[in-house]
């Protein structure tokens, strides 16, 4: 049995077979950088990290792309209010976002394209859509995607020219969450969405030249252009939060398949834009939709400020199946702290017994873990495997049944499991929370054999005045 994943396109769980194994191309919609990310955003990003790590654990070579949306209505509003330059403003929140990813032990995506670096690709896609008669320029200079013309157009091979592939949808359905130019009456049809938004006075100096006049891209076209530029016109996996399935992802499909691809590859390859769509469900906090007025709105920084560690937050976020709505609570976070400590304690005891590292990881626990995650990332079952193993190991330790060899084999299995769950080792010694978080992240990256990331984290820790040393008991921190 190999890896099976749910595919939103087919609404079923199916074998995951990449286009060119062992390579896997994976795109996850990234943040809009206008503020600190909240814990709901990070559920999706930690989920994407789990997918990437599990694929690597199963022998695939993953290329992971996550875009940074750095031009958007909310960003423009904020720079108007604060008088900052676009790049200064978005650069600050991009850096904060990447720090938060690190704190949660997420491996850095291989590519982090910024939308403003891919305007040319967006213009190329819009031009193709115009040439095919699928897009049109409205009187105000904005360019819209016509869903009606898309459905009526002659089909490319590889283009289904269907609108509503991800969600069963009537074309006349309202688009309640659509982000549109303000001059909505310029559109032929209420369902049409903006590919290019004509420059308006509120945009200030944020605009680009285009064949249709000055303006800026719509949000949906950004992801089509960036994903195809970095992964090719047809790629394996597209991830995002379930709130993005419609209209954002539906529009990505329509634009990408309607244009035939950034390089004509969808047309020539007779393949769809994306083979496999994965969507992570919503997150509630304390049983309610997160909102600042209810006092249940948490950023990662808020939780670190309450004294929780990145690995505890990560564990809680990974405790429920990705397709289930998850209720994130502070009590749950306390529970995750206890659970992580139980694992630490068991692993520490094993390390005390080990005289040399093993290359033959204990097979049973590893096989059960693999089978659980291969089953559409069944994390509940995988954690149950881990805690059964902890219980049995503690029993065997107490009964004096664990010799150096068994301890080494068990630890080797745990290290492989932790290359996916990525709790990392608990750093030893009294150190500030930020250094602790970086050291945990370094250990997690090391286990995943991402040495570039682990070296860069070591350098960051050094720059903050600390040295990290690997000992048989785990990484040790001391002032530099």
The site for Zn ion (CB under 5 A) is made up of: 29, 223
Bridge partners, 5 (sequence order): 14
Residues contacting residue 339 through CB under 8 Å, at least 6 positions apart: 315, 387
To 5 degrees, how large is the angle CA 161–CA 151–CA 264? 40
Q: Two tokens at 57?
A: 């654990």
Minimum gap (Å) between residue 145 Cβ and Zn ion: 15
d(CA 47, CA 241): 10
For Zn ion, the closer of residues 222 and 312 by Cβ is 222
Q: How many residues does the chain have?
A: 480
For Zn ion, the closer of residues 29 and 56 by Cβ is 29
d(CA 200, CA 461): 45
Minimum gap (Å) between residue 248 Cβ and Zn ion: 5
Beta strands in 57-100 (DSSP E): 61-66
Residue 27: in which H helix or E strand, if any? strand 23-28
For Zn ion, the closer of residues 29 and 354 by Cβ is 29
For Zn ion, the closer of residues 7 and 69 by Cβ is 69
DSSP string, 355-408: SS--SS--HHHHHHHHHHHHBT--HHHHHHHHHHHHHHHHHHHHTT---HHHHH
3-state SS class at 63: strand
The Cβ of residue 372 has, within 10 Å, a number of other Cβ atoms equal to 19
Q: Two tokens at 154?
A: 């002659």
Minimum gap (Å) between residue 469 Cβ and Zn ion: 41
Minimum gap (Å) between residue 223 Cβ and Zn ion: 3
Minimum gap (Å) between residue 446 Cβ and Zn ion: 31
For Zn ion, the closer of residues 29 and 254 by Cβ is 29
Residue 277: in which H helix or E strand, if any? strand 274-280
For Zn ion, the closer of residues 103 and 223 by Cβ is 223
Cα distances (angstroms) measured from residue 7 to each of 212, 239, 323, 346: 37, 10, 11, 37
Minimum gap (Å) between residue 113 Cβ and Zn ion: 11
Minimum gap (Å) between residue 179 Cβ and Zn ion: 12
404-421 and 433-447 helices, crossing angle to 10°: 100
69 alpha carbon, distance to own chain's centre: 14
Minimum gap (Å) between residue 29 Cβ and Zn ion: 3
For Zn ion, the closer of residues 161 and 245 by Cβ is 245
For Zn ion, the closer of residues 228 and 420 by Cβ is 228
């Amino acid at each position: 049995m190999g890896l099976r994943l749910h595919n939103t396109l087919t609404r079923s769980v199916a074998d995951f077979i990449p286009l060119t194994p062992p390579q896997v191309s994976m795109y996850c919609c990234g943040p809009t950088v206008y503020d600190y990310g909240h814990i709901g955003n990070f559920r999706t990003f930690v989920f994407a990290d789990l997918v990437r790590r599990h694929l690597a654990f199963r022998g695939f070579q993953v290329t992971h792309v996550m875009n940074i949306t750095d031009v958007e209505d909310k960003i423009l509003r904020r720079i108007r209010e604060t008088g900052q330059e676009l790049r200064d403003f978005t650069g600050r929140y991009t850096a904060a976002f990447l720090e938060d990813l690190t704190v949660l032990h997420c491996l850095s995506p291989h590519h982090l394209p910024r939308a403003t670096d891919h305007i040319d690709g967006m213009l190329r896609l819009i031009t193709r859509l115009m040439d095919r008669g699928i897009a049109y320029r409205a009187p105000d200079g904005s360019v819209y995607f016509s869903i009606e013309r898309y459905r009526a157009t002659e089909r490319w091979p590889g283009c289904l020219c269907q609108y509503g592939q991800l969600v069963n949808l009537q074309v006349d359905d309202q688009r309640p969450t659509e982000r549109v130019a303000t001059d909505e009456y310029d559109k032929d049809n209420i369902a049409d969405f903006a590919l290019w938004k004509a420059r308006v006075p509120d945009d200030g100096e944020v605009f680009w030249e285009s064949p249709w006049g000055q303006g800026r891209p719509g949000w949906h076209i950004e992801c089509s252009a960036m994903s195809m530029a970095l992964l090719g016109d047809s790629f394996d996996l597209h991830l995002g939060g379930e709130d993005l399935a419609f209209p954002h992802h539906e529009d990505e499909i329509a634009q990408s398949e309607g244009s035939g691809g950034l390089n004509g590859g969808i047309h020539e390859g007779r393949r769809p834009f994306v083979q496999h769509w994965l969507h992570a469900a919503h997150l509630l906090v304390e049983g309610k939709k997160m909102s600042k007025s209810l006092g249940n709105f948490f950023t990662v920084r808020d939780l670190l400020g309450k004294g929780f560690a990145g690995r505890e937050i990560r564990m809680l976020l990974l405790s429920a199946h990705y397709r289930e709505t998850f209720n994130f609570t502070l009590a749950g976070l306390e529970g995750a702290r206890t659970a992580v400590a139980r694992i630490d304690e068991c692993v520490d005891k094993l390390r005390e017994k080990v005289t040399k590292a093993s290359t033959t990881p204990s097979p049973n626990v590893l096989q059960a873990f693999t089978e659980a995650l291969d089953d559409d990332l069944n994390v509940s079952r995988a954690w149950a495997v881990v805690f059964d193993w902890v219980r049995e190991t503690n029993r065997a330790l107490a009964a004096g049944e664990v010799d150096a060899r068994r301890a080494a084999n068990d630890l080797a299995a745990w290290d492989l499991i932790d290359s996916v769950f990525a709790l990392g080792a608990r750093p030893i010694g009294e150190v500030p929370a930020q250094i602790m978080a970086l050291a945990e992240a370094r250990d997690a990256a090391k286990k995943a054999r991402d040495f570039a990331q682990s070296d860069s984290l070591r350098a960051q820790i050094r720059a903050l005045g600390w040295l990290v040393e690997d000992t048989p008991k785990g990484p040790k921190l001391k002032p530099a």
